């Protein structure tokens, strides 16, 4: 069974009119799934996420921080919140914020429970994926780390988990959660912390104690294109996943690695996303994907629709191609396809990006035991 978690209520929530994080991307995704006939198979189901039980927050977050989130939920503000990362432009105080976060996170929790119980093969929660939130602070538009909570429960049940993050921003909250654990293989492919928030995720951050060698960061230079990104991905990710042999895989399908994203500086197209997802999909029969970042709303929704089609092994078919008064999605760039034309960076910039990626791969092969033959 392939499960998609969605709620009109959650997709209508706004941090603010000008905030770059737009839950409405999920509604655009639903429109595209309809347009491309990607939601009509008998083994597919849409479920409304139930709120995460507040007690489950303690699997990762500290009680004092949870109490601050409750106050924020009613619109109350205090200087203590600022110390916990709440009340700044990235993470504003909003009435109903905790309610939203619990419901959005609930889809991730429910999805993992369905995978563990054998009720699903693939689950997608586009409204989840808050990979920056820490144990006692909000960060990067993230208040509750739904991923860390769900993975911790898996570990408590004796499961090994692989986490793959292809968001343009380093998944620092998840890294911090399992930096000393050998039960979670954390792999983050992202723009280098030298040029992009959260200014972390360098290749020499490989874990501590029992977790040494189980935290893998693959940072890329600005302007990295499909060829460079996929070179590193092919060299590193499949062998890591095959040798770790996880019981289930988490994938953070951030849309902000795309070349049209306004907040990051990578140059990927849908072609790279296609290969990455197809590869991961062939390596496990229990996968959960979360949405994460992506600040070009229409392109992110398009990438998520493509990801859904690939995980479900369905070829998109445009039901509205050539029709008058058909469905429009911002600047109409789909032209009957979710796929981008090829794009390649050239010249000295390309050489620098490839050289950097090769050096990162060589370092990791030398320092990560799972990559040693």
Active-site residues, by number, are 132
Q: CB neighbours (10 Å) of residue 63?
A: 10
- Residues 150, 127: contact at Cβ < 8 Å? no
What DSSP line would sit under 53-118, residue for residue?
Answer: PGGGGGGTS-HHHHHHHHHHHTT---HHHHHTT-SSSSS---TTHHHHHHHHHHHHHHHHHHHHTT
CA 110 to chain centre: 17
| Residues facing 215 on adjacent strands | 186
Closest Cα to residue 228, out of 191, 278, 277, 281?
191
CA-CA-CA-CA torsion sign (95, 97, 102, 108)? positive
**In Å, how far are 251, 260, 294 from 187, measured between CA atoms?**
10, 24, 19
DSSP 8-state code for residue 331: S
**In Å, how far are 4, 345, 346 from 149, measured between CA atoms?**
19, 39, 42
- Residues 122, 2: contact at Cβ < 8 Å? yes
- Residues 302, 269: contact at Cβ < 8 Å? no
What dihedral angle (degrees, nearest 10) is formed by the CA atoms of 51, 54, 57, 58? -160
User: In a 3-state reduction of DSSP, which class is residue 162?
Assistant: strand
* Contacts with 215 (C-beta within 8 Å, 6 or more apart), sequence order: 175, 178, 179, 186, 205, 206, 207
Residue with tokens 């849908």: 270
**Residue 72 to residue 94: CA distance in whole angstroms:** 6
**Residue 323 to residue 330: CA distance in whole angstroms:** 17
């Amino acid at each position: 069974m392939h499960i998609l978690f969605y709620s009109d209520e959650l997709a209508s929530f706004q941090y603010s009119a000008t905030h770059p994080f737009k839950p409405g991307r999920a509604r655009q995704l639903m429109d595209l799934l309809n347009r491309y006939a990607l939601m009509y198979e008998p083994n597919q189901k849409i479920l409304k996420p139930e709120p995460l039980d507040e007690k489950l927050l303690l699997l990762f977050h500290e009680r004092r921080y949870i109490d601050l989130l409750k106050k924020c939920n009613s619109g109350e503000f205090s200087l203590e919140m600022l110390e916990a990362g709440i009340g700044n432009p990235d993470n504003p105080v909003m009435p109903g914020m905790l309610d939203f976060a619990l419901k959005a996170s609930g889809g991730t929790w429910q999805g993992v429970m369905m995978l563990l119980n054998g009720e699903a093969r693939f689950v997608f929660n586009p409204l989840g994926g808050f990979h920056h939130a820490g144990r006692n602070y909000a960060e990067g538009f993230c208040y509750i780390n739904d991923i860390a909570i769900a993975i911790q429960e898996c570990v408590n049940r004796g499961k090994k988990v692989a986490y793959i993050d292809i968001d343009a921003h380093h998944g620092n909250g998840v890294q911090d959660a399992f930096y000393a654990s050998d039960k979670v293989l954390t792999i983050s492919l992202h723009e280098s912390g030298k040029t992009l928030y959260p200014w972390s995720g360098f290749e020499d951050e490989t874990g501590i104690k029992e977790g040494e060698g189980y935290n893998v960061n693959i940072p890329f230079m600005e302007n990295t294109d499909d060829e460079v990104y996929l070179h590193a991905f092919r060299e590193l990710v499949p062998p890591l996943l095959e040798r770790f042999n996880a019981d289930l895989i988490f994938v953070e399908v951030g849309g902000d690695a795309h070349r049209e994203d306004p907040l990051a500086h990578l140059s990927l197209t849908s072609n790279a996303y296609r290969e990455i997802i197809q590869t991961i999909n062939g390596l496990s029969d229990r996968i959960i994907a979360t949405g994460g970042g992506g600040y070009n709303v229409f392109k992110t929704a398009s990438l998520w629709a493509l990801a859904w089609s690939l995980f479900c092994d369905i070829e998109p078919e445009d039901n509205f191609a050539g029709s008058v008064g058909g469905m429009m999605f911002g600047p109409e760039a789909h032209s009957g396809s979710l796929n981008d034309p090829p794009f390649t960076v050239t010249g000295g910039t390309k050489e620098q990006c490839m050289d950097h990626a090769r050096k990162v791969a060589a370092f990791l092969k030398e320092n990560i035991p799972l990559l040693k033959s």
